[in-house]
Amino acid sequence: MEPKLTHLCYCLLLFLPLLCQSTIAKPSSSPNPSSSINFIVSSCRVTRYQTLCVKCLAAFADKIRRNENQLAQTALAVTLVRVQSTTIYVGKLTKARRIKRREYLAVKDCVENLGDGLEMLAQSMRELKQVGRSGRDRDEFLWRLSNVETWVSAALTDETTCLDGFDGKVMDGVVKSAIRRRVVHVARVTSNALALVNRFAARHKS
């Protein structure tokens, strides 16, 4: 992984310590916390995993408020941190004791796929930050939004591809179970982020 990307993920880990907890965070200290939470709940209705969406974003209501761009950026930041954490975990499994050769190769491919997805997500975050700086240039605005949609979608594909190497009963076991649980989770978080990005884009394309 490139040093810049590693540094980015490290910084996000410092500033986003409460991601996707099992309980929804307490109301924020924003001027109208209930309004911010309601905005998140309403926005998450477009996602496939609505409860997970709210749990991941409620802690940042004071930052998101009712800003669609900030909502999408936060969703991507949450996703990036979760994928980074999962990539590190899966990578450690290549050194697990008694891991079979076939499992080792599948894990290695999975790490590469997750790494590719991580790059796409980091690139998407950088591009989405530029969206608000496009000014009145509508063509540039829409072009950047299209890039974000494409890259987040590619990241989701990379994550699901990670599990392809574990197809078949011959691969069943502790390694497959541990990886599947975590990868399915990050794929759901990514799916939610993509839905929120698509919602933001759709509102500006019409």
Q: Is the pLDDT of residue 60 over 50?
A: yes
Q: Which domains does the chain have, with CATH numbers?
A: 68-201 (1.20.140.40)
| pLDDT value at residue 31 | 52
- Predicted confidence (pLDDT) per residue in 84-138, tens digit: 999 999 999 888 878 888 899 999 999 999 999 999 999 999 999 888 665 567 8
| pLDDT value at residue 1 | 45
More confident residue, 24 or 116: 116
More confident residue, 178 or 13: 178
- Integer-rounded Cα Rg, in Å, for the chain is 18
| pLDDT value at residue 198 | 95
Distance CA 9, CA 91 (A): 16
- Predicted confidence (pLDDT) per residue in 138-176, tens digit: 888 889 999 999 999 999 999 999 998 888 887 888 888
Distance CA 109, CA 42 (A): 38
Q: Is the pLDDT of residue 23 over 60?
A: no
The model's confidence at residue 10, banded by pLDDT at 50, 70 and 90, is: very low
| pLDDT value at residue 134 | 57
Distance CA 40, CA 34 (A): 10
* pTM for this predicted structure: 0.83
Choice among 4-13, 54-63, 184-193 with the minimum mean pLDDT: 4-13
According to DSSP, residue 25 is labeled P
The model's confidence at residue 77, banded by pLDDT at 50, 70 and 90, is: very high
Structural contact between residues 168 and 26, judged by C-beta atoms closer than 8 angstroms:
no
